[in-house]
Chain A
Amino acid sequence: MNAIDATLTQLQSSPSALNWYENGTSRIPFRVYTDAERHRKELEAFFYKNHWCYVGLEAEIPNVGDFKRTAIGERSVVMSRAEDGSVHVFENVCAHRGMQFCRERHGNRKDFVCPYHQWSYSLKGDLQGVPFIRGVKQDGKVNGGMPPDFKKEEHGLTKLRVATRGGVVFATFDHAMESFEDFVGEAVLHYFDRMFNGRKLKILGYNRQRIPGNWKLMQENIKDPYHPGLLHTWFVTFGLWRADNKAELKMDRHFRHAAMISTRGNAQAANEVSKVSSFKETMQLHDARFLDIVPEAWWNGPTAVMTTLFPSVILQQQVNSVSTRHIQPRGNGEFDFVWTHFGYEDDAPEMTERRLRQSNLFGPAGFVSADDGEVIELSQKGFEQKPDHRALAELGGRDVGDTDHMVTETLIRGMYAYWRKVMGE
């Protein structure tokens, strides 16, 4: 091999092999966050195959012809409601010459028309109209037209398989994969159904942020009960988080999804509670309405359940604030994070007000969420400067399993156990 060959081989070879401490997942190589090629492999393995990905809520498209443009991984898709009321998801790439034809993010249509050559598609994504399909008559002869064997049925948009449950819409490019219910698994499905128990949802609005960090860091953030009482001092200051809160961590059998379930304890003196140093017993809110919490029957006990559905979404119930948080990667070093806050159609006006007021705690400016984006950005910076190093996730040991406390990083280890299995490295 000459020098040029050697260089080419090196440049073209797969990203350098990962070194896993004791062949486990308690130490995570920074390379899983920094390699562009590995990221493309992740998109294929997690977003485009074998996983149900979040697309939206049925309440976003209540009427026939309503649509919403969104994304699965880095592919633009459209969710629509057809004449028979069914929900469809298709890829936003014209079957003719590939134009991303849908540019509005929402609206109502009778059909979808690609502006370039006016191919039109039904609300289900089937090809309907092709201009000049039989050619153009001129001076007694027919010019052009599609070949005689051209069949419209063969040139619809790429349709995804759709699953809806409790008003939430998931889709997959993978028509052969297991059902949504099997994908989520019994343990986590229980918490999914708790939040989406069949009541109609009411959309309260969106927040959109672009976070310059690897998308997995957001999954990790919501699988990390170590940080809330330490990073989010607001939580602690105003008594919403205590290290002795009753808590459980539950995973599906593959360790990819998880629920962090916690129940706020009764007020106790600070010294009985935690060693969290920032607890300020005397600190009072100027306006206590931020924390005007009213327990709801459907909680069934827990005051907060944060559910991570791998890879695409986080389901939030934090006291009266409920939202979905959609992860849309953009390369290995950045992702968009779209929050859809909602309520339930049978909410009294005071409850809607309360949900909106508590939403000040969450989102890109939230009292206890803005800092999550910040630490993710700065983690990515650390990885980029030292790609051969690794993160440590050994709180609570090096193994993976459900727990009845929060003092552990087991969910992160679980996620990487799954990641290793799927990625084969």
Chain B
Amino acid sequence: MSEQLETYFAVTQLHARYATVVDAKDWDAWCELFVDDCVYRIQPRENYERGFPLATLSFTSKGMLKDRAYGIRETLFHDPYYQRHVIGAPLILESSATHIDCESNYAVFRTKLSELSTVFNVGRYIDRIVRTPEGLRFQSRQCVYDSEMIPNSIIYPI
């Protein structure tokens, strides 16, 4: 049990760290939560369930994450906003010496300057987490979202 608890604790800490860095707009730290050869996808539930490969964003290396970070910082014009993640308890599906497969629900709230806070995007993370000497890192994070309509645009990572 204690090994399981340790894993559970480490995963929730990773999720908490993830929420902290993406809500703090620390994109460099966001990139570093992934291994080099990683997958990061934001995909509508519709595509996921119907087997359509298209994602709203689909990155297949840490380099692509860094390019997104650059895009957010330097090239993408957008109305400024805060985001706030609330991540539910992870369901650990599989845990081994090398990796952990788990899922958790999430909700992201968006607050634009001078505006009320609104529900921005809700869905489920489907994760493959690997154990590295530096601690747990994402090998793959898929954000499969229920939200049928994106309220205009998604700029920051979910």
- Co-complex (A, B): yes
> What is A's interface to B at a CB cutoff of 8 Å?
105-106, 203-212, 231-234, 237, 278, 285-287, 289-290, 336, 341, 352, 356-357, 359-360, 363-365, 367, 370-371, 373-375, 377-378
Query: When chains A and B are docked, how far (Å) is the Cα of A111 from the Cα of B61?
Result: 47
Given A370-B76, A374-B77, A206:B52 Cβ within 8 A: yes
Given A204-B54, A363-B56, A210:B63 Cβ within 8 A: no
Given A233-B75, A367-B71, A377-B79, A204:B149 Cβ within 8 A: no
Q: Which residue of A lies closest to B56 (CB)?
A: A365
Query: When chains A and B are docked, how far (Å) is the Cα of A211 from the Cα of B46?
Result: 20
Partner of B154, one of A205, A278, A289, A364: A364
Query: When chains A and B are docked, how far (Å) is the Cα of A356 from the Cα of B57?
Result: 9
Chain A positions within 8 Å of B70 at CB level:
286
Q: Are A205 and B64 in contact (CB under 8 A)?
A: no
What are 21 A-B interface contacts by the 8 Å CB criterion? A106-B50, A205-B44, A206-B47, A207-B44, A232-B75, A286-B62, A286-B66, A287-B64, A289-B60, A289-B64, A356-B55, A357-B58, A357-B60, A359-B55, A359-B58, A360-B58, A364-B154, A367-B68, A367-B75, A370-B154, A371-B76
Instruction: State how many angstroms separate the Cβ of A363 from the closest Cβ of chain B.
Output: 6
Number of interface residues of B (CB under 8 A): 37
Question: Would you list which residues of chain B between 53 and 109 have a CB under 8 Å from chain A?
Answer: 53-64, 66-68, 70-71, 74-79
Partner of B61, one of A208, A212, A287, A341: A287
Partner of A231, one of B44, B50, B54, B77: B77
> What is B's interface to A at a CB cutoff of 8 Å?
42, 44, 46-47, 50, 52-64, 66-68, 70-71, 74-79, 148-155
Beyond known contacts A237-B74, A365-B153, A367-B75: 4 more, CB 8 A cutoff:
A205-B44, A233-B74, A287-B67, A363-B56
Query: When chains A and B are docked, how far (Å) is the Cα of A206 from the Cα of B56?
Result: 8
Q: Are A374 and B152 in contact (CB under 8 A)?
A: yes
Chain B positions within 8 Å of A286 at CB level:
61-64, 66-67, 70
Q: Are B150 and A364 in contact (CB under 8 A)?
A: yes
Chain B positions within 8 Å of A373 at CB level:
152-153
Q: Are A209 and B152 in contact (CB under 8 A)?
A: yes
Query: When chains A and B are docked, how far (Å) is the Cα of A202 from the Cα of B50?
Result: 14
Q: Are B75 and A341 in contact (CB under 8 A)?
A: no
Q: Which residue of A lies closest to B79 (CB)?
A: A374
Query: When chains A and B are docked, how far (Å) is the Cα of A241 from the Cα of B48?
Result: 33
Query: When chains A and B are docked, how far (Å) is the Cα of A207 from the Cα of B50?
Result: 13
Chain B positions within 8 Å of A232 at CB level:
75
Query: When chains A and B are docked, how far (Å) is the Cα of A124 from the Cα of B57?
Result: 38
Chain B positions within 8 Å of A206 at CB level:
44, 46-47, 52, 54
Q: Which residue of B lies closest to A213 (CB)?
A: B152
Chain B positions within 8 Å of A205 at CB level:
44, 46-47, 50, 52-55
Q: Which residue of A lies closest to B71 (CB)?
A: A367
Query: When chains A and B are docked, how far (Å) is the Cα of A153 from the Cα of B52?
Result: 39
Chain A positions within 8 Å of B152 at CB level:
209-212, 364, 373-374, 377
Chain B positions within 8 Å of A287 at CB level:
59-61, 63-64, 66-67
Given A365-B155, A371-B76, A371-B78, A207:B71 Cβ within 8 A: no
